[in-house]
Structures are given as C-alpha cells and as structure tokens.
Amino acid sequence: MKFFFTNLLISFFCLNAIGQNKNELKIIEKPIVYNKERVKLSIEYLKIRYGIIQDKPTIIPKIIVLHYTEGGNILSNFNYFNHVKIENERKIGKNQSKLNVSAHYLIDRDGKIYHLVPDTVFARHTIGLNYCAIGIENIGSNKEPLTNQQIQSNAKLIRKLCSKFRIEYLIGHSEYVNFRYTPLWKETNSKYFIHKEDPGTHFLIEVRKLIVDLKLKSKP
C-alpha cells in the first residue's frame, strides 16, 4: 500500500511539470486529502456499491461527467471535498457510505482549472458510474449559470483527457439516468438514485459544439 501512496504523489505533482509550453492547457494542482482512510473507504465503496474487488482505489476512465457545485467558490468547495467523510446532514449519502463526495477537477468562473484527484484514482461524484468516470465540477448553479470561460476550459480539459485515455462518453450529471439498467451501471442498490439537473442544458450544448470532432457519446 505504501508504494501506492508514493506513486500517487509522484504522478500527481509531476502531471504537468514536463513538456509544458505557452500553448498547453494550464492546470493548477490542488490535491484534496487522499490518506489511508480515504483509500480504505474508496476500496470499500467499490466493493459494496459496485461489486468490484481490488486492493487499490484506481479506475480506468471511459466517461467524463460534468457538474456544477450549486454555489460557493473555489475555497469553500475545495474545503468541502477535502473532508474524507461525508457530513452528518447528508442522510442518504451517509447511509450509503461514509466516504465524502469529491471530483477530479474543479473549474472556477474565470475558467481556471484546479486538479483535485489524480485522473485514475476513484472519486465519488456520480452514482453508478464512479468506477470509470472522471468528474469535473464547475463553480455555479441554476441561479448562477456557468460562464463562457468555463465552457472554454471544460472543452480544452476534455480534449486533453481524451488524448490520454480511451474516453467514450461525455455526459452532464443530469444525463446519468441514461446509463441506468445498462451494463455500465454498477450500483448494487436499485433504489439509490437521485435526479440531477446540473450542469445545465445550454452549458452542455456549448461545450459539445467545441469538441464535436471527438465524437463522444452521451448515452450507451
């Protein structure tokens, strides 16, 4: 297990250190706590919620899920994700797992991209799909629609991720319902489902316009 932590830190902090130039996408490394407890809870989540048994909380990304945070700012959302265990008020989440929600990326309203969790490490952000999904959170809400800068940054980040991994699907959190009752859906509790509206229809349309050449699917 100690080798996992060592390799995790090395890959995380060196992700953008080599070969960068002015034309490359700027990503700010801001890792949340991923200690032994979070590793343990993530491995348990994979086993109990998905029936996946493995000794490391790793994933093979094939889906990118876009979210909005429902408010807050970079600091407040980072501090929220940084807690290993979910807060007591989240009764549904608490009953399902003590593991807190998180995401791989967090994008500010000015388009700045923050990298919170390594791309191939488990993060809890989308029911049924976390075992193979990279989560991108955006600062905003239904009352505070996502910005053009965020549209541009999401498109660039998606393009970068698709150059690294075999990504097949790009969905909004609101669209994960399309994966229910398909082989890609791994949630063992059929009643565990929450309707979502993020990140907004307009946002998804505009992001997809910029990456149409990638031919990413929105449903199985």
**115: enclosing H helix or E strand:** strand 113-115
Cα-to-chain-centroid distance, residue 142: 19
Angle at 61 between CA 21 and CA 158, to 5 degrees: 40
181 exposure class (CB count in 10 Å sphere: 0-12, 13-18, 19+): exposed
Topology of the domain covering 2-18+26-214? Lysozyme-like (3.40.80)
User: Can you read off the two tokens belonging to residue 101?
Assistant: 């929600």
**pTM, to two decimals:** 0.89
Is the CB of residue 50 less than 8 Å from the CB of residue 187?
yes
Is the CB of residue 102 less than 8 Å from the CB of residue 116?
yes
Residue 71 CA to residue 141 CA, distance in Å, equals 6
pLDDT at position 7, please?
55
pLDDT at position 18, please?
37
92 exposure class (CB count in 10 Å sphere: 0-12, 13-18, 19+): exposed
Contacts of 101 (CB under 8 A, 6+ apart): 81, 86, 93, 124, 125
pLDDT at position 88, please?
73
Q: What are phi and psi of 28, to 5 degrees?
A: -95, 120
Is the CB of residue 104 less than 8 Å from the CB of residue 119?
yes
Residue 14 CA to residue 101 CA, distance in Å, equals 25
Give the pLDDT of the chain (220 residues) as one tens digit per residue: 554 554 554 455 444 443 344 457 999 999 999 999 999 999 999 999 999 999 999 999 999 999 999 999 999 999 999 999 998 755 555 457 999 999 999 999 999 999 999 999 999 999 999 999 999 999 999 999 999 999 999 999 999 999 999 999 999 999 999 999 999 999 999 999 999 999 999 999 999 999 999 999 999 9
Is the CB of residue 84 less than 8 Å from the CB of residue 33?
yes
